[in-house]
Amino acid sequence: MSGTKPTPRSGHSLCPVGKMYVLFGGLDNEKKDGKIGPNNQVYVLRLLSNNNSEWRLQKCEGSIPLPRTNHAACAISNDEMVIFGGYFSTHQRFNDTYILKTSIVFL
């Protein structure tokens, strides 16, 4: 396995999208303002033909979902996934929907 691997986390989503897997958000061990909180990171996992794999942290543009954990997500096309709901904290829950474009080029 090569590339930038995601940190240990829970409450994230991992969806097969086209020929790759897209990981979104979740609660990791990284502290923000002294507290552990959710993130809105997007990682892509590409499975290679020689039983290897490659992780890549993606920089996203446009309308990006706020950091969240325990959301729902699934692929809706070969280059899009839908992300719904989740929560930021015990007092802030989301009822929103995002379409995340996953047109990613590996070189």
Burial class (CB in 10 A: 0-12, 13-18, 19+), 25: buried
Query: Which pLDDT tens digit goes with each residue over 11-23?
Result: 999 999 888 999 9
Residue for token pair 């942290």: 57
Q: What's the structural domain count of the chain?
A: 1
Tokens standing for 57? 């942290």
Q: Is 61 inside any structural domain?
A: yes
Asked if 87 and 26 count as a contact pair (C-beta separation under 8 A), the reply is: no
- What is the C-alpha separation between 46 and 107, in angstroms, rounded? 12
107: in domain: no
Q: Quote the CA–CA distance of 10 and 17 in Å, as a whole number.
A: 20
Instruction: Give 29-70 pLDDT, tens digit per residue.
Output: 877 777 888 999 999 999 887 888 899 998 877 788 999 999
State residue 31's pLDDT score.
73
Domain assignment present for residue 106? The answer is no
pLDDT at 52: 86
- Is 96 part of a structural domain of the chain? yes
- Residue 85 placed within a domain: yes
**Of 6-10, 24-28, 31-35, the least confident:** 31-35
The 10s digit of each residue's pLDDT in 64-87 is: 899 999 999 999 998 889 999 999
Does the residue 73 lie in any domain? Answer: yes
Domain ranges, residue 12: 2-101
Residue 67 and residue 45: Cα distance in Å, rounded?
20
Q: Strand, coil or helix: what is 13?
A: strand
pTM: 0.88
